[in-house]
Structure 1
Amino acid sequence: MVPPGYRHRKNQDGQSPHELFTKKHATLVTEGEYWMTHTASQCMVVATLIATIVFAAAFALPGGYNQNTGIPFFRKEPPLIVFVISDAVSLVSSSTSVLIFLSILTSRYAENEFLESLPKKLVKGLAALFLSIVTMMVAFSASFFVLYNNNLGWVPITVTGLAAIPALKSSSFDSRLKHRK
Structure 2
Amino acid sequence: MLAAANRHVNLFNFLRRKNFLRESTVRKIDDEGNSALHVAAVYSKYKLWPIPGAAAQMQWEIKWFEYVKYSMPRVSFRRNNKEKSAEEIFTETHTTLVKEGAEWLVKTSESCSVVAALIAAVALATSASIPGGIDEMTGKPKLQQHTAFEIFAISSLVALCFSVTALTMFLAILTSRFQQRDFARDLPVKLLLGLTSLFISIGAVLVSFSSGYSLVTEDKFRYAIFPVYAATCLPISIFAVAQLPLYLDLLRTNFKSRFDYR
Task: Please report how far the alpha carbon of residue 77 of structure 1 lies from its aligned counterpart in structure 2 after TM superposition.
Answer: 0.7
What CA distance in whole angstroms lies between the structure 1 residues aligned with 2:222 and 2:118?
A: 30
Equivalent residue number for residue 112 of structure 1: 181
**Equivalent position of 1:170 in the other structure:** 241
1:81 partner letter? E
Amino acid across the alignment from 1:52:
A
| Pair 1:20-2:89 in alignment | yes
Closer/same/farther in 2, CA of residues 62 and 90 from structure 1, 3 Å limit:
same
> How far apart are residue 10 of structure 1 and its match?
2.7
1:34 equivalent in structure 2:
103
Q: Percent identity?
A: 33
Where do 1:112-151 residues align within 5 Å?
A: 112-148=181-217, 150-151=219-220
* The structure with more radius of gyration: 2
Q: So what's the TM-score if we normalise by structure 1?
A: 0.81
Per-residue deviation, 1:67: 4.9
The 2-side partners of 1:100 and 1:68 are apart by 43
Q: How many residues align?
A: 175
Kindly tell me: are residues 63 and 156 of structure 1, through their superposed partners in 2, closer, same or farther at Cα, counting changes over 3 Å?
farther
- Aligned amino acid, residue 108 of structure 1: R
Contact preservation (8 Å) 1:47, 1:95: yes
Alignment correspondent of 1:48:
117
Q: d(CA) in 1 for partners of 2:118 and 2:224?
A: 26
- 1:133, distance to aligned residue in structure 2 (A): 0.6
**Residues 65-105 of structure 1, C-alpha deviations (whole Å, 9 max, x = no match):** 33555432211111111011001000000011111112212
Q: Which runs of 5+ in 1 are unaligned?
A: none
Quote the Cα distance in structure 1 between the aligned partners of 2:228 and 2:149. 16
Runs of 5+ consecutive residues of structure 2 not aligned to the other structure? 1-6, 8-39, 41-67, 250-262
What's the Cα RMSD here? 2.8
Contact 1:137 1:163 in 2 (8 A): no
Q: Looking at secondary structure, tell me which structure has more helix per residue.
A: 1
Partner of 1:62: 131
The separation in 2 between residues aligned to 1:53 and 1:37, in whole angstroms, is 24
Equivalents in 2 of 1:160, 1:73: separation in Å?
24
SS at match of 1:152: helix
- TM, length-normalised to structure 2: 0.58
- TM-aligned CA deviation for residue 21 of structure 1: 2.3
